[in-house]
Amino acid sequence: MADLIEDSYELAQRRYAELGVDTGQALQQLQAISISLHCWQADDVGGFERTGGKLEGGGLQVTGNYPGKPRNIAEIRQDLEKVFSLIPGKHRLNLHAIYGEFGDQEVDRNEITPEHFQGWVDWAKEQDLKLDLNPTPFSHPKAASNLTLSSKSPEIRDFWIEHVRRSREISNAIGSQLGSPCIHNIWIPDGIKDIPVDRAGYRQLLKEALDDIFSTKYPAAHVKDSLEGKLFGIGAESFTVGSHEFYLSYAVANQLMLTLDTGHYHPTESVADKISAILPFVPELLLHLSRGVRWDSDHVAILDEQLVQIAEEVVKCKALDRVHLATDYFDGSINRIAAYVIGVRAVQEAFLYALLEPWDLLREHEEQGRNFQRLAMLEEMKVMPFGAVWDYFCQQGNVPPGGAWIEEVEKYEKDVLFQRT
* Catalytic positions: 187, 228, 230, 261, 264, 288, 296, 298, 328
Contacts of 135 (CB under 8 A, 6+ apart): 96, 97, 109, 163, 164, 167, 184, 186
400: left (phi over 0), alpha (psi -120 to 50) or beta: beta
Are 289 and 347 spatial neighbours (Cβ–Cβ below 8 Å)? Answer: yes
**Closest to 180 in 3D by CA, of 115, 92, 81, 89:** 92
Around Cβ 33, how many Cβ atoms within 10 Å?
Answer: 20
CA-based angle 22:28:33, to the nearest 5? 130
Residues shown for the chain: 421
What interhelical angle do 336-355 and 305-316 show, nearest 10? 50
Helix (H) or strand (E) run with residue 259 in it: strand 257-261
CA–CA separation, 270 vs 284, rounded Å? 19
Direct distance between the N- and C-terminal alpha carbons of the chain, in angstroms, rounded to an integer? 38
CA-based angle 82:171:318, to the nearest 5? 75
67 φ, ψ (degrees, to nearest 5): -60, 150
The DSSP result for 99-149, as a single string, is GS--TTS---TTS--GGGGHHHHHHHHHHT-EEEEE---SSSGGGTTS-ST
